[in-house]
Amino acid sequence: GWMESVSAHLETTDGIASLVTELGQLKGYKKSRPLFNGEPITDNQIELFIVDLKKYSAYLKNEALSKNKGN
């Protein structure tokens, strides 16, 4: 069920951390993986997505800090 609420998870760093955890667990499953371009997603693709999510989380944190400094 978490895939349906991905966009909501991307709004907060806590939500992103939750997605990273879920994706990390997905790497342990070899069956029933989501499809990407018609093929099951690979561990490498999952790891690349995790890296991108962590970068986005850092961006959100920096944005929040910048807004707080402006107040």
User: What is the pTM (predicted TM-score) of this model?
Assistant: 0.76
- If pLDDT is split at 50, 70 and 90, which confidence band does 52 have? very high
pLDDT score of 70: 65
Q: Which helix H or strand E contains 48, and what residues bound it?
A: helix 43-70
Residue with more model confidence, 35 or 16: 16
Q: How many residues does the chain have?
A: 71
d(CA 17, CA 54): 8
Q: Contact 16/2 with Cβ under 8 angstroms?
A: no
